[in-house]
Structure 1
Amino acid sequence: MSITTATRSVPFGAITTFRLVHAIENAAEAFASWKAARQTRGALANLSDSQLEDIGLVRADADMIYNKIRSGRY
């Protein structure tokens, strides 16, 4: 019985291409997160104090929610 080891080389530039695609995907995700946070902040800013109170928030909570969405923790 013999043991063989298959070694295959990747095509030239494949790793660089993978890293480029990965960087573009990360940038797109960051942009989408920023856009969602911005829209949420704008929607909360347009609410009156009584409307915010109805949903259990105060005006100061809007910045906290914005920062959580931007950082991806929300």
Structure 2
Amino acid sequence: MSRAAQGRKLWLVGGGELVGQFHDAGLLDELIVQISPVTLGAGQPLLPRRIAFAPLQLISVQRWGSAFVELRYALPKPAAS
């Protein structure tokens, strides 16, 4: 997919597992989380594995109306192995 984008930005929409797979492959540089205050009960964590504890850097917050926000985080590239 990165090759097909030819250096342009990619936007993925999916759950935490998809985000985790791209993070594990070193392909994420930004994480956008949109939050609406709706309680759905018990469920899965938002982000799986170690990405939940990566040193995220908040780069922006945007508010829509009185209830909805979008948080943007920069993600450092994982160390080369």
Structure 2 length as normaliser, TM-score? Answer: 0.18
Higher relative contact order (CA 8 A, sep 6+): 2
Greater strand content: 2
Greater helix content: 1
